[in-house]
Amino acid sequence: MQKTTNSYGRIYDVVKHIPEGKVMTYGQVARIANVATPRVVGFALHVNPDEQHIPCHRVVFADGSLTQGYAFGGEGVQKERLLKEGVVFTQKGKVDLENSLCRTLSNS
DNA sequence: CTCTTGACCATGT
DNA sequence: AACATGGCCAAGA
């Protein structure tokens, strides 16, 4: 596993491994995927070659806010999707990182 | 090879 | 608290 495909392959693998009801920040994914900067993560998800198998909606900002600028299928759909998965949101419209942030994958 | 842009993050004002 | 700037790395033209 974790074959050294490209940095992208690692990103997709990590994102696909995000458990339901949990979310990860771009920086977190970048760190676990051994990617240089979170920008590459965002870029990788942007190309999104397997959107049906890559839950990019489970990837959020470090603040817990959702993707600004572009949605994978509509505006606000991401939030609806996360809510349906069991992710908790705050009154501020952000993800409750205290409860939904996946840190179990933190690879030392 | 060089320049620009990009689904970010942290800091400063 | 909100807005603006800098820095990081990679891919496209």
The CATH number for A91's domain is 1.10.10.10
Give the closest residue to C11 (Cα–C1′). A43
Band the pLDDT of A99: cuts 50, 70, 90. Answer: very high
Residue A41 falls within a domain, yes or no? yes
Range of the domain at A22: 7-100
Decide if A47 is inside a domain: yes
In a domain, A108, yes or no: no
In a domain, A2, yes or no: no
A12 strand B contact, CB < 7 Å: no
Using an 8 Å Cβ cutoff, are A21 and A1 in contact? no
Question: What's the mean pLDDT in A83-105?
Answer: 90
- By C-alpha to C1' distance, B5 is nearest to A43
Does A76 or A95 have the greater pLDDT score?
Answer: A95
Provide the whole-model pTM: 0.89
Does any domain span residue A33? yes
Residue A54 (CA) to nucleotide C9 (C1'), in angstroms, measures 22
A39 touches strand B (CB under 7 A): yes
Q: Encode pLDDT of A1-42 as tens digits.
A: 545 567 788 999 999 999 999 999 999 999 999 999 999 999
Please spell the DSSP secondary structure of A37-86, one letter per residue: -HHHHHHHHHH-TTTTT--GGGEE-TTS---SS--SSSTTHHHHHHHHHT
Give the whole-angstrom CA distance, residue A69 versus residue A83. Answer: 20
Determine the average pLDDT of the residues in A74-93: 89
Cβ of A62 < 7 Å from strand B? Answer: yes
How many structural domains are present in chain A? 1
Span CA (A39) to C1' (B10), Å: 14
In the predicted structure, residue A74 carries a pLDDT above the cut 80: no
Look at residue A106 and tell me if it is in a domain.
no
What percentage of residues in chain A have a pLDDT greater than 90?
61
pLDDT at A51: 79
Is A34 a member of any domain?
yes
